[in-house]
Amino acid sequence: MLAAYDATMARLLDRAGIDALLVGDSLGTVILGYDTTLPVTLDVMIHHSRAVSNGAKRALVIADMPFLTYQVSVSETVRNAGRLIQEGGAAAVKLEGGAAVADSVRRLVDVGIPVMGHVGLTPQSVHRLGGYRAVGKTPREASEIIEDARAVERAGAFAVVLESIPDAVAAAITAELKIPTIGIGAGPACDGQVLVSYDAFGLFDVFVPRFVKQYARLGEAMVNAAKEYIADVQQGKFPGGEHSVSMEQPVKKEQPVKNEQPVKNEQPGKKAAG
């Protein structure tokens, strides 16, 4: 699984054979430039989900439920998840948390909305966690995470993301659960893996988490391409003849182009507006 936010990226990843595309609320940092995912709204998620759904023809599209859209009440959760499906075109939703969100997960599944869980480091709880840090390193934290994973499975989630937890804890959860675990910073024992596409392709370089492997350096390639374009324009090399439109018959200079009216009351030395 890879996180994608627009139709072009979705189309390319779909073509590469990706199983699932996550419209992650990580778009808050990667696309919108915020420090956290907390300012991301439901309308923004719907907008990007629609784009990804338009681009993906084969991959499963899963949309993140943003902060405060599933914590208030179960009925509000159903309405908000329903909008991601109905307006955003997603086939499933993902929400962060374990035991605390189990009732909402159960209700969503009951009404026909597939749910992916997300336990371990849950970025929407950044302030409670005191920053983005690996969790589950102590026996107490590890057993809380294992219990959270069990809770989302019992509630009917079809898969669960395990984020930034020790490999051994992820391996224990993967061995115990029947649903697939999808890891990010959770080691190789998970059933699947997820990365943010902008991280994996070297586009987002504000910070690169330790668990990211850069499969390309598209950021560098874009900077170089932009420099080349700027130089071409400045040196008159672009656009060339092959990028330009020529007329079928050359226009004679003294012959006015059809429909063009002479400009009235033109002041000497001034160009007419428009």
Task: Note the residues at the interface with ligand KIV (CB under 6 A).
Answer: 3, 22, 24-26, 64, 161, 163, 184, 194, 196
Q: Which two tokens stand for residue 230?
A: 């700027």
User: Which residues lie below 8 Å from residue 229, measured CB to CB, with a gap of 6+?
Assistant: 238
CB of 107 to ligand KIV, least distance (A): 21
Catalytic one of 87, 163, 228, 254: 163
CB of 3 to ligand KIV, least distance (A): 4
CB of 194 to ligand KIV, least distance (A): 5
Closest to ligand KIV by CB, 67 or 153: 67
Closest to ligand KIV by CB, 45 or 113: 45
The answer to whether residues 13 and 197 touch, using CB atoms and an 8 Å cutoff, is: yes
Query: What sign has the CA pseudo-torsion 179, 154, 40, 209?
Result: negative
Q: Which two tokens stand for residue 57?
A: 């023809």
Q: Is 76 among the catalytic positions?
A: no
CB of 233 to ligand KIV, least distance (A): 36
**C-alpha of 273 from chain center:** 43
Select from 161, 164, 100, 99 the least CA-distant residue to 131. Answer: 164
Closest to ligand KIV by CB, 83 or 118: 118
For 15, list phi and psi in degrees, rounded to 5: -65, -30
Closest to ligand KIV by CB, 90 or 194: 194
CB of 40 to ligand KIV, least distance (A): 9
d(C-alpha 237, C-alpha 264), whole Å: 37
Closest to ligand KIV by CB, 25 or 148: 25
Query: What sign has the CA pseudo-torsion 50, 25, 149, 110?
Result: negative
d(C-alpha 112, C-alpha 117), whole Å: 16
Active site members: 163
